[in-house]
Amino acid sequence: MKKLIYLTSLVGMGLFVNSCSLGYVATEPVYVETVRPARPDNFHIWIDGDWVYNRQSHAYARNTGYWAKPNPNSTYVSGQWQNGTKGKYWQKGHWQKNNQKQDRRSR
């Protein structure tokens, strides 16, 4: 009985991990320029849309970008295409905290 529970749990975890895996494609999708809405104010920055993998169509679709008000201690790192062993995949953009040591040197 314990073996059955262990085996069932192991299979369930394998399915979960597989469903969370990256989507790989042979070539990057074609970039389409989108029209930006008006900037809310001078403090906002434009964040380009990310690519999202659709598991049913096995293709990436582009999300639209948006204006964001950044945290003064963070910088936005844009997403980019990465090469993997199975093909290309999208590394999503993210906010990164600034390194205070670097900030002091650059002043």
Give the pLDDT confidence of 18-66 residue by residue, as tens digits.
434 578 998 888 877 888 999 999 999 999 999 999 999 889 999 999 9
Q: Quote the pLDDT of residue 13.
A: 52
Domain-by-domain residue ranges, the chain?
A: 2-106
Contact 58, 45 (CB under 8 A): no
Residue 94 has pLDDT above 90, yes or no: yes
Mean pLDDT of 4-9: 53
CA 53 from centroid of its chain's CA atoms: 10
Task: Tell which wins on pLDDT, 11 or 20.
Answer: 11
Picking from 53, 49, 48, the residue whose alpha carbon sits closest to that of residue 21 is 53
Q: Which two tokens stand for residue 34?
A: 């989108």
Residue 8 has pLDDT above 60, yes or no: no
Q: Quote the pLDDT of residue 39.
A: 96
For 61-76, write each residue's pLDDT tens digit: 999 999 999 988 999 9
